[in-house]
Amino acid sequence: MALDIKARFASYTERWMLLWIGAKCLFAELFSDGFSNLLDRTFAKLYTSLSHDFAKCEADLSPVPRYVALADGITLELGPGCGTQLPRMNAKALTHVYGIEPNTEIIPALQEKVESLPEIRPIYTTINASFEDEAALKAHGIVEASLDTIVCMQVMCSVPDAVNAAKRAHRLLKPGGQFLFWEHTANFCQLNVSGLWNIIWSPLLGGCAMGVDVETAIMNAGPWDIVELGRDEGSERPYNLLPRVWGRLVKVEQ
């Protein structure tokens, strides 16, 4: 069996630049403000400084801008980070947008983005909590069958339990409500390599983990109508540690 050393090496090491930038942010934050909240500060600095590049990549290579523009009614964005997706929202279609973001250190950048968007500002509420915090959701009226849209872009890899997070998302949507997502998922042939990378990848990247089976978690969360579903084909890049999955799912009316 061919070992494909070159292809493997290229796939296993292609994210080294992001890790290098993460390490630089970590040391910059450590020397400026010490250990307090260090990993959250590191992620906030990294993500905010690269958000322009991430937004461009998404626009060039993914359905993300098109999906985000489909958000309507009462919308919850999971993990908005520094608000990269907000300019893509169609304010006229939205009743209200809630962004639930646990990283306190990134909230100022998120607020700045909200303030810069006059159509979004009056209809936006930031919830500084994690998606697991049902009391925080309830305090904003986000309860079972209360949402028209959930926007979930690159978040399921960071939540502590993707299976339960996906089930919660399904539960919170109204029947007919839509779940819009673009995530990376597991490459089952590469779980050992993912596990090794996670030792440094997760702390530098806000808890993001490679190798989480996000696709199964979402698809098994409850009954969906599949409007659109796509994934990177394994045969094209068999050693890819971050294969993408994306979709527009609608909660089935029961």
Regarding 159 and contact with ligand SAM (CB under 6 A), the answer is yes
Task: Check residue 4 and give left, alpha or beta (phi > 0: left; psi -120 to 50: alpha).
Answer: left
Regarding 85 and contact with ligand SAM (CB under 6 A), the answer is yes
The number of residues that bind ligand SAM (CB under 6 A) is: 22
Regarding 78 and contact with ligand SAM (CB under 6 A), the answer is yes
Regarding 131 and contact with ligand SAM (CB under 6 A), the answer is yes
Region from 8-16, 87-95, 111-119, 129-137 binding ligand SAM, contact rule CB under 6 A: 129-137
Regarding 185 and contact with ligand SAM (CB under 6 A), the answer is no
Which of 92, 191, 98 is closest to 140 using CA atoms? 98
How far apart are alpha carbons 85 and 101 in whole angstroms? 13
Tally Cβ neighbours within 10 Å of residue 20.
11
How far apart are alpha carbons 54 and 59 in whole angstroms? 9
Closest to ligand SAM by CB, 101 vs 215, is 101
Binding mask 203-232 for ligand SAM (x = CB under 6 A): ---xxx------------------------
Question: What would the DSSP string read from start to end of 16-62?
Answer: HHHHHHHHHHHHHHHHHH-STTHHHHHHHHHHHHHHHHHHHHHHHHS
Regarding 130 and contact with ligand SAM (CB under 6 A), the answer is yes
Residues at the contact surface with ligand SAM, assessed by CB under 6 A: 78-81, 84-85, 100-103, 106, 130-132, 153-155, 158-159, 206-208
